[in-house]
Structure 1
Amino acid sequence: MKTFQLPYLFIFLLIVSCAATSSIVFDYDIDEDFNSHNTFVICEDDLLVEHSNYPDYDNASIREYLSQEVSSQVENLGLTVDSTNPDVQVGFRLVISEETATFRDCSEFSEFNYWRECTIETETYTDETLIIYMSNLEKNQIIWQASMPCNMNISDTKLESHIAKTVKTLFETYPNIVKPIE
């Protein structure tokens, strides 16, 4: 009976160790009165495609979905859109970079168990990060930001829900500050 449990334990540990983890990085200004803000505007520059050489990762549709979802999340915080005199500006950035990983593919020489040849293979992949930020326009400084690795290179049918989930996850780090009772 115990011989069957060991392989299941090994498989479970393998699955858990290979599970994807998303690392969210966030920060906010502890001196900022987040309750004093009532209005916002989306940074219009963030709607412009920055990485035209990566059209599957950054295009007008992705940026429009991001803008809509960020606006929705900020409205859920109780702020309203005001493009003439906003308290804060909210924006997002897609950071895209190419990374390389090098692998060794070594074959054993069967007669003496020496390495016969060791071929190095290099794989190039695209790394993408979404950053959402909020700036106090009066102070001209960022008061909150959050970022996480993401992948916008998914099918159009899943893209909108994927962006909604990603943006919502980042907004869960927004400071939940309550006004003191006076």
Structure 2
Amino acid sequence: MIRRCPQCGTAGDDIYGFCIKCGYEFQKIPKDKNACPLCGYPNPDEADFCVKCGTPLLFKSQFEGTHNSINPIIIKNTTENQNQMNVGRTNRIWIVLGYFFSILGSIIGLIISIYLITRKDPVAKKHGYIQLAIIIFYIALFAVLYATGAIPPEIINEYTQLLAGNLTSV
């Protein structure tokens, strides 16, 4: 059974008897068939859940024969897990938008890729680096085409003037 240390909050197996992080000694769980596997509180015979902490009770009489050594794993859903799931959904939206704008070769793709690189989520970070590599590839391709003369300097001058608002038509 997995238990959470009340002193430091670390999850650990109860076979050790002590917390693996801080050394806190866990309470001994009685072998009574109605004792709570989490807190050890003795419960009435008709209880299906611990009356102290609400943990589901596993009765030894239900596990006769080959299942005598079943150790329950109790995982409680925390708000931290929910927040991590919500962060993953938000990052997915930014990842998709980042690929869209990176493939178009826009400055927005560069901004989104840098944003993703700064996230703590390793998946978002990986996609941010991939998007940044796409943008760097476009810049390198543009530089090679410009250096070889495949893109004449007049087109670049007209484009920069158009962006500045000085040219009405191309």
Report the TM-score, using the length of structure 1 for normalisation.
0.18
Bigger relative CO (Cα 8 Å, ≥ 6 apart):
1
More strand by share: 1
Return the structure number with greater helix share: 2
